[in-house]
Amino acid sequence: MPELPPAIEVQNLRKLYGSKAAVDGLSLTVAQGSFFGFLGPNGAGKTTTIKMLMGLAPPTSGTIRLLGLAMPEQGLEIKKMIGLVPDESLLFDHLTGGEFVEFVGRMYGLEQKMARQRSAELLELFELDGSQKKLIVEYSKGMRKRVAMAAALIHRPRLFLMDEPFEGVDAVGARLMKDILLEQVRHGATIFLTSHVLEVVERLCDHVAIINEGKVVVEGSMDQLRGASETLEDAFVRAVGVDRTTETLDWL
């Protein structure tokens, strides 16, 4: 059986905004079937990287291959195989959740009957079926994240690109979403995830890369990053160079 190409392979990726490098020579390989955490402090280049992987921001230089195909040259073919949950959930506020998920299914080429059936099943899976008549504009942030993830699943993608998917989601919703994502990985999908909630990453991911100032500073398996006794938080703080004694104010 031939070896599968990496789910994500980027080489010397750079993105300049004026003279400022948001991403600066990033190289990264993510194997298919992995749950990969992509971490970094605010402004490190995580969202810019995800946007380049999605084809939403052209790189200044470097190469991107997803599932063995070149981005952007084979972008249309790639986009049929990936599911996206962007940091800002780009939803149609004046549709219901079911209508939006069905619409996304149709955009991916599903027949109307199948798109409608899968939409209903996904809303039930994400426990949104009690809000069938509610417009997305009335959704809480956590509900918006759930419907965005439901839409990302409808065409059964092989690769998920997720930017802060648990932000604003309550504990019950987060647990539900984690279980669904872990099930996707068990079925062979690849998940590339950014999150500021390190406990979530530590619990879910098998591999992690930490980016700082547009460059990968640490990469490895979760066990390698944590070492014998560290938490992921300890490894993260050390990697981004802010491991120092917390200063206090006399009056605080």
> Using one digit for the tens of pLDDT, what is the confidence trace for 185-228?
999 999 999 988 888 898 899 999 999 999 999 999 988 887 75
Indicate if 169 and 76 belong to the same structural domain: yes
| Burial class for 111, CB neighbours closer than 10 Å (0-12, 13-18, 19+) | exposed
Q: pTM of the entire structure?
A: 0.90
pLDDT in tens, 76-112: 999 999 999 887 767 899 999 999 999 999 999 999 9
Same domain, residue pair 69 and 177:
yes
What 236-239 contacts at long range (C-beta under 8 Å, 24+ apart), as own/partner pairs, is: 236/39, 236/198, 236/210, 239/210, 239/212
Residue 10, domain member (yes or no):
yes
Are residue 11 and residue 77 in the same domain, yes or no?
yes
Q: Which pLDDT does position 1 carry in this prediction? A: 60
For 113-124, the pLDDT digits (tens) are 999 999 999 999
- Count of structural domains, the chain: 2
Position 47 in a domain: yes
Residues 100 and 5 in one domain: no
Mean of the per-residue pLDDT values of the chain? 90
For residue 124, the tally of other CB atoms under 10 A from its CB is 13
The domain of 101 spans 89-156
